[in-house]
Structure 1
Protein backbone atom coordinates (compact mmCIF):
# COMPACT_ATOMS: atom_id res chain seq x y z
CA UNK A 1 0.00 0.00 0.00
CA UNK A 2 1.37 3.41 -0.95
CA UNK A 3 1.90 5.67 2.12
CA UNK A 4 -0.43 8.63 2.24
CA UNK A 5 0.90 12.16 1.88
CA UNK A 6 -0.30 12.87 5.41
CA UNK A 7 1.69 9.93 6.77
CA UNK A 8 4.87 11.02 4.97
CA UNK A 9 4.43 14.58 6.15
CA UNK A 10 3.83 13.37 9.72
CA UNK A 11 6.98 11.25 9.66
CA UNK A 12 9.10 14.05 8.28
CA UNK A 13 7.78 16.42 10.90
CA UNK A 14 8.52 13.91 13.64
CA UNK A 15 12.03 13.33 12.28
CA UNK A 16 12.62 17.08 12.19
CA UNK A 17 11.57 17.45 15.81
CA UNK A 18 13.79 14.53 16.80
CA UNK A 19 16.79 16.04 15.05
CA UNK A 20 16.09 19.38 16.71
CA UNK A 21 15.85 17.77 20.15
CA UNK A 22 19.07 15.82 19.68
CA UNK A 23 20.97 18.31 17.57
CA UNK A 24 20.51 21.43 19.69
CA UNK A 25 22.25 20.06 22.80
CA UNK A 26 25.03 18.62 20.65
CA UNK A 27 25.53 21.95 18.87
CA UNK A 28 25.60 23.81 22.18
CA UNK A 29 28.06 21.31 23.63
CA UNK A 30 30.39 21.71 20.66
CA UNK A 31 30.13 25.51 20.79
CA UNK A 32 30.92 25.80 24.50
CA UNK A 33 33.86 23.39 24.21
CA UNK A 34 35.36 24.26 20.82
CA UNK A 35 34.62 27.95 20.22
CA UNK A 36 37.28 30.54 21.15
CA UNK A 37 36.86 31.77 24.72
CA UNK A 38 36.44 35.35 23.48
CA UNK A 39 33.36 34.32 21.47
CA UNK A 40 31.87 32.58 24.47
CA UNK A 41 32.70 35.50 26.76
CA UNK A 42 31.04 37.99 24.39
CA UNK A 43 27.88 35.89 24.34
CA UNK A 44 27.87 35.66 28.14
CA UNK A 45 28.42 39.39 28.62
CA UNK A 46 25.78 40.30 26.04
CA UNK A 47 23.25 38.16 27.88
CA UNK A 48 24.47 39.26 31.35
CA UNK A 49 25.39 35.72 32.41
CA UNK A 50 27.57 36.83 35.32
CA UNK A 51 28.56 33.46 36.81
CA UNK A 52 29.41 31.95 33.42
CA UNK A 53 31.34 35.05 32.31
CA UNK A 54 33.33 34.92 35.56
CA UNK A 55 34.31 31.30 34.99
CA UNK A 56 35.19 31.87 31.34
CA UNK A 57 37.41 34.85 32.20
CA UNK A 58 39.44 32.76 34.64
CA UNK A 59 40.65 30.52 31.84
CA UNK A 60 40.54 32.98 28.92
CA UNK A 61 43.66 34.10 27.09
CA UNK A 62 44.91 37.62 26.28
CA UNK A 63 42.38 37.86 23.44
CA UNK A 64 39.78 38.52 26.14
CA UNK A 65 41.39 41.82 27.18
CA UNK A 66 40.01 44.06 24.37
CA UNK A 67 36.61 42.40 24.74
CA UNK A 68 36.51 43.10 28.48
CA UNK A 69 37.65 46.69 27.85
CA UNK A 70 34.82 47.08 25.35
CA UNK A 71 32.16 45.88 27.77
CA UNK A 72 33.57 47.86 30.69
CA UNK A 73 32.59 50.90 28.62
CA UNK A 74 29.12 49.54 27.79
CA UNK A 75 26.24 52.01 28.10
CA UNK A 76 24.24 49.63 30.31
CA UNK A 77 25.28 49.89 33.97
CA UNK A 78 24.33 46.30 34.78
CA UNK A 79 26.44 45.05 31.88
CA UNK A 80 29.38 47.09 33.18
CA UNK A 81 28.79 45.64 36.66
CA UNK A 82 28.88 42.07 35.35
CA UNK A 83 31.93 42.84 33.23
CA UNK A 84 33.73 44.18 36.31
CA UNK A 85 33.21 40.76 37.93
CA UNK A 86 34.54 38.98 34.85
CA UNK A 87 37.48 41.38 34.68
CA UNK A 88 38.30 40.71 38.32
CA UNK A 89 38.38 36.99 37.52
CA UNK A 90 40.79 37.64 34.64
CA UNK A 91 43.05 39.86 36.75
CA UNK A 92 43.12 37.34 39.57
CA UNK A 93 44.23 34.58 37.18
CA UNK A 94 46.50 36.64 34.90
CA UNK A 95 48.42 39.15 37.01
CA UNK A 96 51.22 39.72 34.50
CA UNK A 97 49.03 40.60 31.50
CA UNK A 98 46.31 42.54 33.30
CA UNK A 99 47.66 46.10 33.36
CA UNK A 100 45.26 47.43 30.67
CA UNK A 101 42.35 46.02 32.64
CA UNK A 102 43.65 47.39 35.94
CA UNK A 103 43.74 50.81 34.30
CA UNK A 104 40.15 50.38 33.09
CA UNK A 105 38.92 49.26 36.52
CA UNK A 106 40.67 52.19 38.22
CA UNK A 107 38.96 54.51 35.76
CA UNK A 108 35.54 53.04 36.63
CA UNK A 109 36.30 53.30 40.34
CA UNK A 110 37.07 56.98 39.91
CA UNK A 111 34.55 58.12 37.33
CA UNK A 112 31.67 55.72 36.62
CA UNK A 113 28.23 57.33 36.85
CA UNK A 114 26.79 54.35 38.73
CA UNK A 115 27.64 54.14 42.44
CA UNK A 116 27.02 50.40 42.30
CA UNK A 117 29.58 49.98 39.53
CA UNK A 118 32.10 52.25 41.29
CA UNK A 119 31.91 50.30 44.54
CA UNK A 120 32.22 47.00 42.69
CA UNK A 121 35.23 48.30 40.76
CA UNK A 122 36.97 49.37 43.99
CA UNK A 123 36.32 45.98 45.54
CA UNK A 124 37.57 44.23 42.39
CA UNK A 125 40.95 45.95 42.71
CA UNK A 126 41.56 43.55 45.59
CA UNK A 127 42.45 41.07 42.85
CA UNK A 128 45.63 43.06 42.14
CA UNK A 129 48.24 41.23 44.21
CA UNK A 130 51.29 43.19 43.05
CA UNK A 131 52.69 46.66 43.70
CA UNK A 132 50.72 49.17 41.64
CA UNK A 133 51.23 52.92 41.70
CA UNK A 134 48.02 53.28 39.71
CA UNK A 135 45.97 51.44 42.33
CA UNK A 136 47.65 53.45 45.10
CA UNK A 137 46.81 56.76 43.45
CA UNK A 138 43.24 55.61 42.88
CA UNK A 139 42.87 54.70 46.56
CA UNK A 140 44.37 58.01 47.64
CA UNK A 141 41.89 59.99 45.57
CA UNK A 142 38.92 57.88 46.66
CA UNK A 143 39.80 58.17 50.35
CA UNK A 144 38.99 61.87 50.06
CA UNK A 145 35.70 61.32 48.23
CA UNK A 146 32.51 62.90 49.58
CA UNK A 147 30.70 59.53 49.55
CA UNK A 148 31.11 57.57 52.78
CA UNK A 149 30.46 54.29 50.95
CA UNK A 150 33.26 54.99 48.50
CA UNK A 151 35.67 56.03 51.25
CA UNK A 152 34.85 52.84 53.16
CA UNK A 153 35.53 50.56 50.17
CA UNK A 154 38.74 52.42 49.37
CA UNK A 155 39.93 52.08 52.97
CA UNK A 156 39.13 48.35 52.99
CA UNK A 157 41.04 47.93 49.73
CA UNK A 158 44.08 49.69 51.16
CA UNK A 159 43.96 47.73 54.41
CA UNK A 160 43.83 44.47 52.47
CA UNK A 161 46.77 45.44 50.27
CA UNK A 162 48.87 46.50 53.27
CA UNK A 163 47.81 43.41 55.20
CA UNK A 164 48.98 41.18 52.37
CA UNK A 165 52.42 42.73 52.60
CA UNK A 166 52.15 44.48 49.23
CA UNK A 167 54.44 47.49 49.07
CA UNK A 168 52.32 50.61 48.72
CA UNK A 169 53.24 54.17 47.87
CA UNK A 170 54.53 56.42 50.65
CA UNK A 171 52.04 59.02 49.38
CA UNK A 172 49.40 56.98 51.22
CA UNK A 173 50.98 58.11 54.50
CA UNK A 174 48.95 61.29 54.07
CA UNK A 175 45.84 59.30 55.05
CA UNK A 176 47.45 57.27 57.84
CA UNK A 177 45.14 58.81 60.46
CA UNK A 178 42.20 57.16 58.73
CA UNK A 179 43.90 53.77 59.11
CA UNK A 180 44.89 53.97 62.78
CA UNK A 181 41.41 53.10 64.16
CA UNK A 182 41.53 49.89 62.12
CA UNK A 183 44.87 49.01 63.68
CA UNK A 184 43.59 49.64 67.19
CA UNK A 185 40.58 47.39 66.61
CA UNK A 186 42.65 44.66 64.95
CA UNK A 187 45.28 44.65 67.70
CA UNK A 188 42.61 44.01 70.29
CA UNK A 189 41.13 41.15 68.25
CA UNK A 190 44.32 39.43 67.08
CA UNK A 191 47.63 41.25 67.70
CA UNK A 192 49.72 38.39 66.30
CA UNK A 193 47.95 38.31 62.97
CA UNK A 194 50.35 38.85 60.04
CA UNK A 195 48.06 41.43 58.43
CA UNK A 196 47.92 43.40 61.68
CA UNK A 197 51.71 43.38 61.95
CA UNK A 198 52.04 44.60 58.35
CA UNK A 199 49.65 47.47 58.99
CA UNK A 200 51.46 48.42 62.17
CA UNK A 201 54.79 48.42 60.32
CA UNK A 202 53.38 50.63 57.59
CA UNK A 203 52.00 53.17 60.05
CA UNK A 204 55.25 53.22 62.02
CA UNK A 205 57.18 53.97 58.84
CA UNK A 206 54.75 56.81 58.08
CA UNK A 207 55.21 58.28 61.57
CA UNK A 208 59.00 58.03 61.31
CA UNK A 209 58.95 59.73 57.91
CA UNK A 210 56.87 62.58 59.33
CA UNK A 211 59.32 63.13 62.20
CA UNK A 212 62.29 63.40 59.83
Structure 2
Protein backbone atom coordinates (compact mmCIF):
# COMPACT_ATOMS: atom_id res chain seq x y z
CA UNK A 1 0.00 0.00 0.00
CA UNK A 2 1.58 3.24 -1.20
CA UNK A 3 0.90 6.23 1.04
CA UNK A 4 1.43 9.98 0.78
CA UNK A 5 1.50 11.75 4.17
CA UNK A 6 0.55 15.43 4.45
CA UNK A 7 1.18 17.05 7.84
CA UNK A 8 2.72 20.44 8.57
CA UNK A 9 3.71 19.67 12.16
CA UNK A 10 7.27 18.36 12.20
CA UNK A 11 6.89 16.20 15.30
CA UNK A 12 3.56 14.72 14.30
CA UNK A 13 4.79 14.05 10.77
CA UNK A 14 7.90 12.30 12.09
CA UNK A 15 5.75 10.23 14.42
CA UNK A 16 3.43 9.16 11.62
CA UNK A 17 6.34 8.16 9.42
CA UNK A 18 7.92 6.13 12.21
CA UNK A 19 4.59 4.43 12.91
CA UNK A 20 3.95 3.50 9.28
CA UNK A 21 7.47 2.16 8.84
CA UNK A 22 6.57 -0.59 11.31
CA UNK A 23 4.24 -2.23 8.76
CA UNK A 24 5.85 -4.23 5.97
CA UNK A 25 2.97 -3.75 3.56
CA UNK A 26 3.00 0.05 3.91
CA UNK A 27 5.32 2.22 1.83
CA UNK A 28 5.41 5.99 2.34
CA UNK A 29 6.17 7.28 -1.15
CA UNK A 30 5.73 11.00 -0.55
CA UNK A 31 5.58 13.59 2.21
CA UNK A 32 4.08 17.08 2.14
CA UNK A 33 3.64 19.97 4.57
CA UNK A 34 1.04 22.02 2.67
CA UNK A 35 -1.79 21.72 0.17
CA UNK A 36 0.24 22.40 -3.00
CA UNK A 37 2.87 19.92 -1.84
CA UNK A 38 0.22 17.28 -1.22
CA UNK A 39 -1.27 17.60 -4.69
CA UNK A 40 2.20 17.58 -6.26
CA UNK A 41 3.18 14.46 -4.29
CA UNK A 42 0.09 12.62 -5.53
CA UNK A 43 0.93 13.50 -9.13
CA UNK A 44 4.55 12.46 -8.70
CA UNK A 45 4.12 9.20 -6.79
CA UNK A 46 0.67 7.75 -7.68
CA UNK A 47 -0.17 6.52 -4.15
CA UNK A 48 -3.03 4.21 -3.17
CA UNK A 49 -4.10 6.44 -0.30
CA UNK A 50 -3.41 9.86 1.21
CA UNK A 51 -3.12 10.46 4.95
CA UNK A 52 -3.64 14.17 5.53
CA UNK A 53 -4.29 16.72 8.23
CA UNK A 54 -7.32 19.01 7.91
CA UNK A 55 -5.59 22.32 8.60
CA UNK A 56 -2.25 23.12 7.02
CA UNK A 57 -0.62 25.87 4.92
CA UNK A 58 -1.27 28.01 3.11
CA UNK A 59 -4.46 29.00 4.94
CA UNK A 60 -4.64 26.67 7.96
CA UNK A 61 -8.33 26.23 7.23
CA UNK A 62 -9.83 23.15 5.58
CA UNK A 63 -7.02 22.31 3.16
CA UNK A 64 -7.30 18.56 3.80
CA UNK A 65 -10.99 18.57 2.92
CA UNK A 66 -10.38 20.67 -0.20
CA UNK A 67 -7.61 18.31 -1.23
CA UNK A 68 -10.02 15.37 -0.93
CA UNK A 69 -12.51 17.13 -3.20
CA UNK A 70 -9.86 17.98 -5.77
CA UNK A 71 -8.54 14.43 -5.75
CA UNK A 72 -12.05 13.03 -6.16
CA UNK A 73 -12.11 14.72 -9.56
CA UNK A 74 -8.51 14.17 -10.64
CA UNK A 75 -7.86 10.74 -9.06
CA UNK A 76 -11.29 9.15 -8.42
CA UNK A 77 -9.87 5.82 -7.22
CA UNK A 78 -7.50 7.39 -4.66
CA UNK A 79 -8.42 6.96 -1.00
CA UNK A 80 -8.11 9.89 1.41
CA UNK A 81 -7.95 9.48 5.20
CA UNK A 82 -8.19 12.75 7.11
CA UNK A 83 -6.47 12.64 10.48
CA UNK A 84 -7.27 15.62 12.70
CA UNK A 85 -7.38 16.90 16.24
CA UNK A 86 -10.74 18.55 15.57
CA UNK A 87 -13.87 16.55 16.43
CA UNK A 88 -15.81 18.69 13.97
CA UNK A 89 -18.90 17.06 12.51
CA UNK A 90 -19.09 19.64 9.73
CA UNK A 91 -15.63 18.69 8.48
CA UNK A 92 -16.75 15.08 8.28
CA UNK A 93 -19.92 16.02 6.42
CA UNK A 94 -17.96 18.17 3.98
CA UNK A 95 -15.49 15.34 3.41
CA UNK A 96 -18.16 12.92 2.18
CA UNK A 97 -20.48 15.43 0.57
CA UNK A 98 -19.46 14.17 -2.89
CA UNK A 99 -19.48 10.51 -1.89
CA UNK A 100 -18.32 8.45 1.09
CA UNK A 101 -16.44 5.78 -0.86
CA UNK A 102 -12.69 5.92 -0.30
CA UNK A 103 -12.95 8.55 2.43
CA UNK A 104 -12.16 8.46 6.14
CA UNK A 105 -12.13 10.88 9.07
CA UNK A 106 -10.23 9.98 12.26
CA UNK A 107 -9.11 11.94 15.30
CA UNK A 108 -5.38 12.15 15.96
CA UNK A 109 -5.88 10.53 19.33
CA UNK A 110 -6.34 7.27 17.38
CA UNK A 111 -2.67 7.42 16.36
CA UNK A 112 -1.91 5.70 19.65
CA UNK A 113 -3.41 2.57 18.11
CA UNK A 114 -1.12 1.94 15.14
CA UNK A 115 -3.02 -1.14 14.00
CA UNK A 116 -6.32 0.78 13.90
CA UNK A 117 -4.77 3.59 11.89
CA UNK A 118 -3.23 1.26 9.32
CA UNK A 119 -6.41 -0.80 9.07
CA UNK A 120 -8.30 2.44 8.42
CA UNK A 121 -5.84 3.29 5.66
CA UNK A 122 -6.37 -0.14 4.10
CA UNK A 123 -10.15 0.26 4.26
CA UNK A 124 -10.10 3.67 2.61
CA UNK A 125 -7.55 2.56 0.00
CA UNK A 126 -9.92 -0.28 -0.94
CA UNK A 127 -12.80 2.16 -1.46
CA UNK A 128 -14.44 1.78 1.95
CA UNK A 129 -15.33 4.44 4.50
CA UNK A 130 -14.16 5.13 8.05
CA UNK A 131 -15.68 7.66 10.44
CA UNK A 132 -14.44 8.36 13.95
CA UNK A 133 -16.95 7.20 16.53
CA UNK A 134 -16.65 10.52 18.38
CA UNK A 135 -17.80 12.41 15.31
CA UNK A 136 -20.68 10.00 14.78
CA UNK A 137 -21.78 10.58 18.36
CA UNK A 138 -21.80 14.31 17.69
CA UNK A 139 -23.97 13.78 14.64
CA UNK A 140 -26.58 11.58 16.26
CA UNK A 141 -26.65 13.04 19.76
CA UNK A 142 -29.95 14.74 20.57
CA UNK A 143 -28.76 16.10 23.87
CA UNK A 144 -29.29 12.89 25.78
CA UNK A 145 -27.72 9.45 26.04
CA UNK A 146 -29.15 6.83 23.77
CA UNK A 147 -29.64 3.20 24.83
CA UNK A 148 -28.19 0.81 22.31
CA UNK A 149 -27.51 1.43 18.67
CA UNK A 150 -29.40 4.27 16.95
CA UNK A 151 -30.03 1.87 14.09
CA UNK A 152 -32.16 -0.29 16.40
CA UNK A 153 -34.89 2.34 16.09
CA UNK A 154 -35.34 1.59 12.41
CA UNK A 155 -37.63 -0.96 10.83
CA UNK A 156 -36.01 -3.61 8.60
CA UNK A 157 -37.18 -1.73 5.50
CA UNK A 158 -35.86 1.59 6.81
CA UNK A 159 -32.51 -0.02 7.55
CA UNK A 160 -32.43 -1.43 4.03
CA UNK A 161 -33.17 2.01 2.58
CA UNK A 162 -30.50 3.61 4.75
CA UNK A 163 -27.95 1.07 3.55
CA UNK A 164 -28.72 2.06 -0.04
CA UNK A 165 -28.49 5.75 0.87
CA UNK A 166 -25.05 5.08 2.36
CA UNK A 167 -24.12 3.39 -0.89
CA UNK A 168 -24.72 6.67 -2.71
CA UNK A 169 -28.03 5.82 -4.39
CA UNK A 170 -30.60 8.48 -5.17
CA UNK A 171 -34.22 8.07 -4.11
CA UNK A 172 -35.13 7.13 -7.68
CA UNK A 173 -32.40 4.47 -7.84
CA UNK A 174 -33.50 3.06 -4.48
CA UNK A 175 -37.11 2.90 -5.69
CA UNK A 176 -36.05 1.01 -8.81
CA UNK A 177 -33.98 -1.48 -6.82
CA UNK A 178 -36.68 -2.12 -4.21
CA UNK A 179 -39.50 -2.01 -6.80
CA UNK A 180 -41.45 0.64 -4.91
CA UNK A 181 -42.56 4.18 -5.71
CA UNK A 182 -40.36 7.24 -5.32
CA UNK A 183 -42.89 8.55 -2.80
CA UNK A 184 -42.50 5.42 -0.67
CA UNK A 185 -38.73 5.92 -0.59
CA UNK A 186 -39.16 9.57 0.37
CA UNK A 187 -41.32 8.53 3.31
CA UNK A 188 -38.77 5.94 4.46
CA UNK A 189 -35.88 8.42 4.22
CA UNK A 190 -37.85 11.06 6.11
CA UNK A 191 -38.66 8.53 8.84
CA UNK A 192 -35.00 7.49 9.10
CA UNK A 193 -33.83 11.09 9.53
CA UNK A 194 -36.45 11.67 12.21
CA UNK A 195 -35.71 8.48 14.16
CA UNK A 196 -31.93 9.09 14.15
CA UNK A 197 -32.55 12.58 15.60
CA UNK A 198 -30.01 14.16 13.31
CA UNK A 199 -29.12 17.86 13.58
CA UNK A 200 -31.57 20.17 11.87
CA UNK A 201 -29.62 21.18 8.79
CA UNK A 202 -30.09 21.02 5.06
CA UNK A 203 -31.71 17.84 3.72
CA UNK A 204 -28.46 16.98 1.92
CA UNK A 205 -26.34 17.19 5.05
CA UNK A 206 -28.86 15.26 7.13
CA UNK A 207 -28.84 12.54 4.47
CA UNK A 208 -25.04 12.36 4.55
CA UNK A 209 -25.09 12.30 8.35
CA UNK A 210 -27.46 9.34 8.26
CA UNK A 211 -25.09 7.58 5.89
CA UNK A 212 -22.23 8.22 8.31
CA UNK A 213 -24.17 6.59 11.12
CA UNK A 214 -24.77 3.53 8.96
CA UNK A 215 -21.16 3.31 7.80
CA UNK A 216 -19.85 3.62 11.34
CA UNK A 217 -22.04 0.83 12.72
CA UNK A 218 -22.42 -1.51 9.75
CA UNK A 219 -19.47 -0.75 7.49
CA UNK A 220 -19.36 0.05 3.79
CA UNK A 221 -22.35 -1.25 1.83
CA UNK A 222 -21.76 -4.13 -0.56
CA UNK A 223 -20.51 -2.91 -3.91
CA UNK A 224 -22.72 -5.50 -5.59
CA UNK A 225 -25.78 -3.69 -4.25
CA UNK A 226 -24.81 -0.29 -5.63
CA UNK A 227 -24.23 1.26 -9.03
CA UNK A 228 -20.89 2.69 -10.09
CA UNK A 229 -19.14 5.12 -7.72
CA UNK A 230 -20.53 8.64 -7.65
CA UNK A 231 -17.78 10.37 -9.59
TM-score range, shorter-chain basis? 0.3 to 0.5
| Higher strand fraction (1 or 2) | 2
- Greater length-normalized contact order (CA 8 Å, ≥ 6 residues apart): 2
The normalised TM-score by structure 2 is 0.33
| Higher helix fraction (1 or 2) | 1
The normalised TM-score by structure 1 is 0.35
